[in-house]
Amino acid sequence: MMEILNIYFLSICLLIIFSFPFTNIYLSNIIRIKKINIFEIYLLNTIFTTSILLILSFFQINLKSLFFFILTCSLINLFFIEYGKFKKDLIFFFFFFLFIVIFFTKIANYPALEWDGFSHWIYKVKNFYDGYSYKNFSNIPNHHEYPPLGSYLWAFVWKGSLVNNEYTGRVIYLYFYFLSLFLIISKTPFNLIVKILIIALLTIITFDVFLFSGYQEPLNFSLMAICLFLFIKIKDYNKLTIFHLFLILACNLIAWTKSEGVFLILFLYVFVFFDSEINKKSKAITFFVLMFIFFLKKLIDVNIYDSNLSAAFPSWFTFVTIENFFNYSNFLHRLSFLIANTSMSFLKYPIFIFFLIFMLFSFFNRKFSKFEFLNFAYFLFTLIAINMIFLLDSSDSWKFKAQVGLDRIFYSTSSIYLFFIIKSLITIFKKKQGKEGWNL
Amino acid sequence: MNYLKNTETSMILKNKSKKKIFLLTLAIVIVISHQNNFFKNTFNLSRESLDHRLSKVYGNCDRHGYGFISTVRSRFHIDENILILNGDTDLKSYALSKKSVWFNYQTNKAINENKLILINYPKENKITKNKKIDFSFKGKNFNGFKLIYKKNNCYFLIK
């Protein structure tokens, strides 16, 4: 019974914690952002609080005190919210809570950690749970060069739990996952019932319980969707808004989730680089910001973590020699293997099938707008880049790595297609985007 | 009079459509919950203890050996990191066979290699009580251990 209570307790705690610090009153009166829905406020709060937690992961802090301190501040903050403005969103928001509870119950019933979870990540989680900082990663077993964000969030929620087991902390991944889905859907012109049905469909094609068993991919998946949401939100790149700052913070969070996070941000850059509406100056600024994030991470890794320069780059990766790469038979052998595994990944995650069907649909209907083009460019870019990682890997175990890693990297990048799928649904149902919808 | 009648009718229609939406939403909630085994999972959570579920997931004296490790730790009051080796043939190297250590791992505390839990130890290599034993495990030799507790092919040994 305690566990059931704990599921509701933690789900409510997360919704309270991430309602802090920005309220609708603060955003409209001080930052002057009007027409912002409840999920967008949650988005800003989540990015802000998570960024603060990322900074705190470098220091030895009592997580339990931190959890209840933030919870108390958030509870006080509840008095400063104008609830009347959220009347429209409240039922949809209730579904957000419901989805978290349903899937958290699923995890609680089968609280298994899969391979990466119990061989790498759990030690990082326990490091924070036991009160140590990121600096102590060098003293724990296995892959101590991995970034700290996901494990810190996991440990943070676990500390606030009424039940002492690691699975309770994994609800944070569910929170991020459903926040990204609800955020995207909240800006569509569909009615409540259709919105819920679409969420259910998206969950069927993107939720993989295996990845929620200790992997960091769901976090990357959600953060990628959040970043694209912010990219779209910033329509005018010449005018600086608060969303620019949050975009940088969100990109930074991706870089601190997994070692390949920096590459994921570069993939996202397709949406800036190929968009003709964005001027060169803005493109350059965005690029330099991304480079800054990359070097900042490297600098922190080298100075805080240890003096090993390879700390910021996956230590398991070494490049193949040029002669070997251009060896015809070797290249063909690798390519055929990777094509087979890529196809399997697409079958494993139906979001790719949906994406390709809708892409064909747009192509044959001659509705290939700028957004369709950007999505297609992103798809090709990620397809080539991800396969190149394994084409260029010199180690003997490249096949094994491709078998266990390829599908997960594809999954991390797949949340971008959610926007395209939903846009296609809007087109199919001939719905007009309202003023509050996205400008795709 | 007509105006009043019209407003009354529109009110009734509004209420009816509200009721319809409510019922439809409720139906969707039930379908989604059922699809994800929400009711069954909730029932399981209320019926089975966490320890029981963890044993089901990670195995008792098989797979990761959670049940056996948990029993040994509570019965012999072990509150430190001890060596846990898994004889599963899928875990090919010695390093891989130490994966079950994480269950009760305490950060920055050394592993006491004088206490040892063996899970999935091959049945042909029998270990008997009250006798000092030497054995080899995936290329590493262990000497002078004594059997303290045994269940099927899982052992708790102390040097």
Residues 130-159, chain A: which have Cβ within 8 Å of B?
Answer: 130, 132, 136, 139-141
Alpha-carbon span B21 to A365, nearest angstrom: 34
Tens digit of pLDDT at every position of chain A (440 positions): 899 999 999 999 999 999 989 888 888 887 777 778 899 999 999 999 999 999 999 999 999 999 999 999 999 999 988 888 888 889 999 999 999 999 999 999 999 999 999 999 999 999 999 999 998 888 888 777 789 999 999 999 999 999 999 999 999 999 999 999 999 999 898 989 999 999 999 999 999 999 999 999 999 999 999 999 998 888 655 677 888 889 889 999 999 999 888 889 989 888 888 887 777 877 788 788 888 888 888 888 777 665 554 444 555 567 777 767 677 777 888 899 999 999 999 999 999 999 999 999 888 887 778 888 899 999 999 999 999 988 888 777 888 888 888 999 999 999 999 999 999 998 888 766 665 566 65
Chain A, chain B: beta-carbon pairs less than 8 Å apart: 82
Q: For chain A, how long is the longest CA-to-CA vector?
A: 68
Residues 6+ apart with CB under 8 A from A353: A346, A347
Number of C-beta neighbours around residue B110 at 10 A: 8
Residues 6+ apart with CB under 8 A from A262: A254, A255, A293, A294, A297
Cβ contact, residue pair A165, B99, below 8 Å? no
Residues 6+ apart with CB under 8 A from B125: B135
β-bridge mates for residue B119, sequence order: B86
What residues of chain A lie within 8 A of the CB of B32, using their CB? 99, 102, 196, 200
State residue A408 phi and psi, 5-degree precision.
-70, -35
The nearest alpha carbon in chain B to A8 belongs to: B42
Give the H or E element holding residue B65. none
What residues of chain B lie within 8 A of the CB of A130, using their CB? 106-108
3-state secondary structure at position A237: coil
Alpha-carbon span A113 to A167, nearest angstrom: 8
Alpha-carbon span A82 to A41, nearest angstrom: 12
Per the structure block, which two tokens stand in for A127?
Answer: 């490091």
Complex ipTM, two decimals? 0.88
Question: pTM of the full predicted structure?
Answer: 0.92
The gap between the terminal CA atoms of chain B, to the nearest Å, is: 98
Residues 80-99, chain A: which have Cβ within 8 Å of B?
Answer: 91, 95, 98-99
